[in-house]
Amino acid sequence: MQHRILIIGNGDDAAMAARAVVAVGMEALVIGEGAFPIADDRVTYKDGWTLKHIEGQIGAFEAVFDTSDGEQTETVSSIIAATGADMVPCSLMNSAGDKAVSFKDLPALLNAKEYTLPMAVVFIQDADVDDGQWVSAIGINLARQVRKMWGCDVYYLCRFIRGSHFEVENAYRMARAEGVVFIKYSKDSLAVMPAEGKTTVSFNDYTQEISIQADMVVMSDVLKPQTQTSSLTQKLGIGINHEGFFQYDNAYYPFTATNRRGVYVIGACKGPAGLNDVSGDAAYTALDIKIQLDELRPIADVIAEINLFKCSLCLTCLRFCPHGALHVSDDMPSMVVYDMACQGCGICGAVCPAEAINLADNGKALMKESSGQKRLKVYCCKNSAKKALDAINMVAQLPQGVELAEMPCSGSIKPEELVNDIYAGFQRILILACYSDACRHVNGNADMRRQMKALQDTLADMGIARDSIVVMDVAGPSSDDVLEKINSAYNAIGLEVAL
């Protein structure tokens, strides 16, 4: 089957994505505003189309567009957002005078037919912020070109050269061999001022004050999210980071993948980190999409199922699902699960007010039953605590009064389950969740903590100690920590525990 991939954006990042998609034998539908550099019969470019919303799941997204001919709907197998970012001049540009240009504007000067050859050019990287590897890649390249074309002195001021991959490393070596002088400066010491037809760049290189009279100063740009980014994240149902770029880091997803299966983000729209290796990311993404699409199967062993008769269409699951896996059925008065999108986290089941979502025991399974007196019940997220325990094979050695259950995500816990545990005799319940910024299901930890807070309040009203329920964050590789937390929660039963 021919897969068609929607690519949002028409800049360099989008072009790389389109080439990568075509290279693995898929088709691309590209939308943007203005020209698109690739002409290829496997690439369809729609100038002026904007995304309105998407429905569906990987393999068959229904994307609705606003176009000059009204609304258009297209079915695509997967989606790549590659909208780029805005480059704005760094703040020092304001005071630097007319001899200053930004990285972005330098190529035009290099290509100009007429110019006065400068004697000394100073590059400044990271004047405002630590810009990331992409800046080094671009800046070193430009410095080498200047050195080669103009033959003048080239000083490259930076706080860090970030070259985690070979290309940057190599360019840096070459540049040094070609005579570019690299100098590390301390941030607060930097000043750029026009002076008698030249520009004075002064700074401290950690040993002394240095001042260079430059004929031209080239400064790195700062990457800012585009204004459309935030609304696009909502349309696509994916995350936004605190700086306003697409997608926070999540160790559980491949670098360009998102919380919504089949939706990817590459390039500058992810922020500075997205620019480190766009072509590599594009190639990887295209391959990942192709592999998934060629043999599409559910991602989770157990996925949510809706009881049509109980569902009241309250939309709570839709609002909570971190994976865009629920939607209102077209032909039934009920919610429906996208089987390829559901990741089986059970968050929907924990919030459904009608108990209309089935996920066998909402995803819980016993890892170890207690024997004798029930003392401590431990819920282990299978993304962290369970992995940690499995790694050391110590479960059997835990005290008899400890019962262990695995869960797909801490967000799957329902308050009444814990009340029943206390009723069954457990004196304490320990929830071992992933750290909230490492939650595979994005909000599972936060959703659970809110519910637990309310439950603790309710129990406290009934005279049951708040520390009957203890929530702790753990990480998969930290087996000792997990064991320690279980043992200390167990040993502290009857004592005051800091929550």
Partner 1 sequence: MIVGQEKPVTELLDMIKPYKRVLVLGCGTCTTVSLAGGQKEAEFMSALIKLNAAKTGQDVTATTETVKRQCEWEFLDDIADLIEQADAVLSFACGVGIQAIAERYPDKVVLPGVNTKFMGMPIETGVFQVRCAGCGNCILDKRGGICPIARCSKSLLNGPCGGAEDGKCEVNPEIDCAWYLIYNRLKAIGRLDDMKQFFEPKDWSYGRDGGARKLRKEGIAL
**Which residues contribute to the site for partner 1 (CB under 8 A)?**
310, 312-314, 316, 319-320, 352-356, 414-416, 419-420, 422-423, 458, 461-464
Cβ at position 462, least distance to partner 1 in Å: 6
- Residue 127 or 419: the one with the smaller Cβ distance to partner 1 is 419
Cβ at position 422, least distance to partner 1 in Å: 6
- Residue 287 or 313: the one with the smaller Cβ distance to partner 1 is 313
Cβ at position 451, least distance to partner 1 in Å: 10
Q: Are 413 and 441 in contact (CB under 8 A)?
A: no
- Residue 377 or 414: the one with the smaller Cβ distance to partner 1 is 414
Q: Rounded CA gap, 92 and 116, in Å?
A: 24
Partners of residue 222 on adjacent β-strands? 88
Q: Which DSSP string do the residues of 106-130 spell out, in sequence order?
A: HHHHHH-S--PPPSEEEEE--SSS-
Q: Rounded CA gap, 83 and 103, in Å?
A: 20
Q: Rounded CA gap, 269 and 263, in Å?
A: 14
Residue type, 310: K
- Residue 313 or 394: the one with the smaller Cβ distance to partner 1 is 313
Q: Rounded CA gap, 200 and 217, in Å?
A: 9
- Residue 174 or 315: the one with the smaller Cβ distance to partner 1 is 315
Q: Are 235 and 53 in contact (CB under 8 A)?
A: yes
Cβ at position 258, least distance to partner 1 in Å: 20
- Residue 23 or 240: the one with the smaller Cβ distance to partner 1 is 240
Q: Rounded CA gap, 311 and 270, in Å?
A: 37
What the block records as the tokens of 29 is 């539908």
- Residue 314 or 394: the one with the smaller Cβ distance to partner 1 is 314
What the block records as the tokens of 244 is 């306003």
Cβ at position 414, least distance to partner 1 in Å: 7
For strand 428-434 and strand 469-474, is the pairing parallel, antiparallel, or unpaired?
A: parallel
Q: Rounded CA gap, 7 and 82, in Å?
A: 7
- Residue 458 or 491: the one with the smaller Cβ distance to partner 1 is 458
Cβ at position 355, least distance to partner 1 in Å: 4
Element (H, E) at 336: strand 335-337
Calculate Rg over the CA atoms of the chain: 28
Helices 444-461 and 415-424 sit at what angle, rounded to 10 degrees?
50
Cβ at position 463, least distance to partner 1 in Å: 8
Partners of residue 212 on adjacent β-strands? 201
Q: How far is CA 41 from CA 9, 22, 26, 28, 34, in A?
A: 18, 10, 11, 9, 19
Cβ at position 464, least distance to partner 1 in Å: 7
- Residue 317 or 337: the one with the smaller Cβ distance to partner 1 is 317
What φ, ψ does residue 453 adopt, rounded to 5°? -60, -45
- Residue 201 or 419: the one with the smaller Cβ distance to partner 1 is 419
Cβ at position 57, least distance to partner 1 in Å: 22
**CA 428 to chain CA mean position, Å:** 35
Cβ at position 234, least distance to partner 1 in Å: 13
What the block records as the tokens of 225 is 């999210």
What φ, ψ does residue 282 adopt, rounded to 5°? -65, -45
- Residue 148 or 310: the one with the smaller Cβ distance to partner 1 is 310
Cβ at position 362, least distance to partner 1 in Å: 11
Q: Rounded CA gap, 181 and 441, in Å?
A: 47
